[in-house]
Amino acid sequence: MNEQLSKLIDLQNIDSKIDEANNNIEKINGEINFLRETLVKEKEQIETAKKDIISSNIFKKEKEMEIVSIEEKIKKHNMELNAVKTNAAYKALLTEIESGKNEKLRIEDELLALMETDEKNSKDIKNLQKEYENKEKEFVGKKVLFENDLKKASELVSQLSLERKTKLTELPKNIVDKYENIRKNKNGSAVVMVEDNACGGCHRNLPIHIIDELKKGKDLITCNNCMRILYRK
């Protein structure tokens, strides 16, 4: 096999391992970010629920004050009943009293419904808080493992990068430039093996003359379709 081709195959293997390690790093960081964002969203959900209860408590106090005001009006109208001199005025006061009682009942029903809702929401918050704390502990544990994996992957990339640098010095600049250009345009795959007389990159059948040149093993041969550098086992 051509010596330069052999070194290019080694270089491609190194780059493939670097790509795999970098993809692994990206995947791990993605997992960490996903878990962190999930926790943030759940925390926000809990805080929103707490704010809703605070707002509900303020609203309930306002309604309770309305009830007090209505009761005072009813009491006042009851006292006024003894002082009215006409039947029409008497009926008007009775109507006001009845209207006040109905309004009071409506507000009391509203308050009762709010209290039931708040009670349910308080239980939900406790459950959400417990679930959040469990997930937070789980995240802390997973993060330690993820960071350990990240460290290993980063160390591997550093080691392989040194090997890559050494390998590049063993090849002529024009060959390196050609390799880098193909790798850039072909999703990291610059050197591929021929399989059943077809390019291992684009999988197109290769012309006979290219197969013959590969068998000779003298020059660097590229696929006539995708331009990747070819080699045979």
Q: Please provide the size of the chain in residues.
A: 233
Instruction: Output the CA–CA distances (angstroms, integers) from residue 193 to 63, 83, 200, 211, 214, in the order listed.
Output: 80, 110, 5, 12, 11
> Mean pLDDT across the stretch 163-179?
96
At 217, is the pLDDT very low, low, confident or very high (cuts 50, 70, 90)?
Answer: confident
pLDDT tens, 38-92? 999 999 999 999 999 999 999 999 999 999 999 999 999 999 998 888 999 999 9
Is the domain defined by 27-170 classed in CATH 1.10.1280.10? no
The H or E element spanning position 66 is helix 3-81
pLDDT tens, 127-143? 999 999 999 999 999 99
Residue type, 180: E
Distance CA 214, CA 69 (A): 99
pLDDT at site 231: 94
Both tokens of 148, joined, read: 């350990």
DSSP 109-172: HHHHHHHHHHHHHHHHHHHHHHHHHHHHHHHHHHHHHHHHHHHHHHHHHHHHHHHHHHHHHTS-
Q: Across all residues in the chain, what is the average pLDDT?
A: 95
**pLDDT at residue 125 is higher than 80:** yes
Count Cβ atoms within 10 A of the Cβ of residue 222 and give its class: 0-12 exposed, 13-18 middle, 19 or more buried. middle
pLDDT at site 92: 94
Q: Where are the domains of the chain?
A: 27-170
Count Cβ atoms within 10 A of the Cβ of residue 123 and give its class: 0-12 exposed, 13-18 middle, 19 or more buried. exposed
Both tokens of 81, joined, read: 């009943």
Distance CA 142, CA 35 (A): 9
- Could you tell me what percent of the chain has a pLDDT over 90? 95
Angle, vertex CA 2, rays to CA 21 and CA 192, nearest 5: 40
pLDDT at site 208: 95
> Mean pLDDT across the stretch 199-224?
93
